[in-house]
Structure formats: structure tokens, C-alpha cells
Amino acid sequence: MDKLNKGLFAFASYNAGPSRVRQLRKEAAKRGLDPNVWFGNVEQVASERIGRETVTYVSNIYKYYIAYRLVAEDHPMGARWITDQELQANPDLVRTMSVKPPQGSGRVRLMEIPGVDLQPCGGTHVKRTGEIGRLRVGKIENKGRHNRRINIHLDE
């Protein structure tokens, strides 16, 4: 088992209990899933057997880890442009539920962290992810069934 999955299983065990996670891993193996990989494997069994709480708990921690890592790795950011029509032909580029990118001028700016993320945006941006500085997760608010507002604090 790799280091990342060891951490994910530790968080799952903290939330659901180590004996339950052991049972979930055994069930995953019986189904032909990889018992040493959380995402898409044991996660799937956990969701079916014990519900979404543990799956959501582990997923949220993983998202915070990725955010911290992106800042620490100091990735370059870049911009490129596509037409409004290209955006409409690629709806998967828009991943926010309520905020739509600015359209109507004939072109839309895409912000890219090469090899990591690409999405439309009309706001201002840093040149490198490391410019953001230290992050701290603050309050997490439930804004509906599929929405959470995560308050991120920038520490100096």
C-alpha cells in the first residue's frame, strides 16, 4: 500500500473504526476490487455498506491535502482563450454550480495549472500557486445537498 492510501485508510479508520475498515477491505477484495486503494475501490464498498459519511470525510481531507500541496509545489499558472462556442461545446470545463464564466464578448479566458486544472474564469489570478502563501481551512458551511462553502484563510 502506498503512503497516500495509508493516510486515507487512517482517516477512514478514525471516522468509521479500524475493524469496520478491515471488513470493508475484505469485502472489496471479494468483489475483485483493490483492498489497498481507497478511491474507486474500498470507498465504493464503504458508500454501499455504511453510507456516505466516511466517504465524504476522507474525500474532504484529501481535497484539503491537494490544495495545500498545490500551493507548496508552486505551480506556474497560465491563461489562454477560447470562443463562446468552444465553451458551449465543452460544458465539462465549467465545474461550479452557480457561478458561470463571463460570456458574450465572443471569447472566454481559461486559467490553467498545467497538468493539474483548466477552467474558465473572469477574475484575477496569481502567476504561481506558491504566491498564495500558507492556507488554513476555516469554517465549512452546508449550502445544500451538493454544496459546501469552505472558508479558506490566508496566513502570513
pLDDT tens across 115-143, in order?
Answer: 888 888 867 888 888 888 888 878 878 77
**How far, in Å, CA of 123 to CA of 146, rounded?**
24
The CA-based angle 103-108-113, given to 5 degrees, is 135
pLDDT for residue 142: 78
Percent of the chain with pLDDT over 70: 93
**Residue 70's CB: how many other CB atoms inside 10 A?**
17
Residue 94 domain-assigned (yes or no): yes
pTM: 0.69
Residues ≥6 apart with Cβ < 8 Å to 54: 12, 15, 16, 46
Tell me: pLDDT of 98 over 70: no
pLDDT for residue 91: 77
pLDDT band at 50 (very low <50, low <70, confident <90, very high): very high
Residue 24 domain-assigned (yes or no): yes
Residue 25, C-alpha cell as written in the block: 477491505
Residues 69 and 7 grouped into a single domain:
yes
Residues 68 and 89 grouped into a single domain:
no
- Please state the domain count of the chain: 2
Average pLDDT over the chain, rounded to an integer: 87
pLDDT for residue 34: 97
**Residue 101's CB: how many other CB atoms inside 10 A?**
17
Residue 35 domain-assigned (yes or no): yes
Residue 151 domain-assigned (yes or no): no
| β partners of residue 78 | 112
Tell me: pLDDT of 2 over 90: yes
Residues 133, 156 contacting (CB under 8 angstroms):
yes
Question: Domain range spanning residue 45?
Answer: 3-73
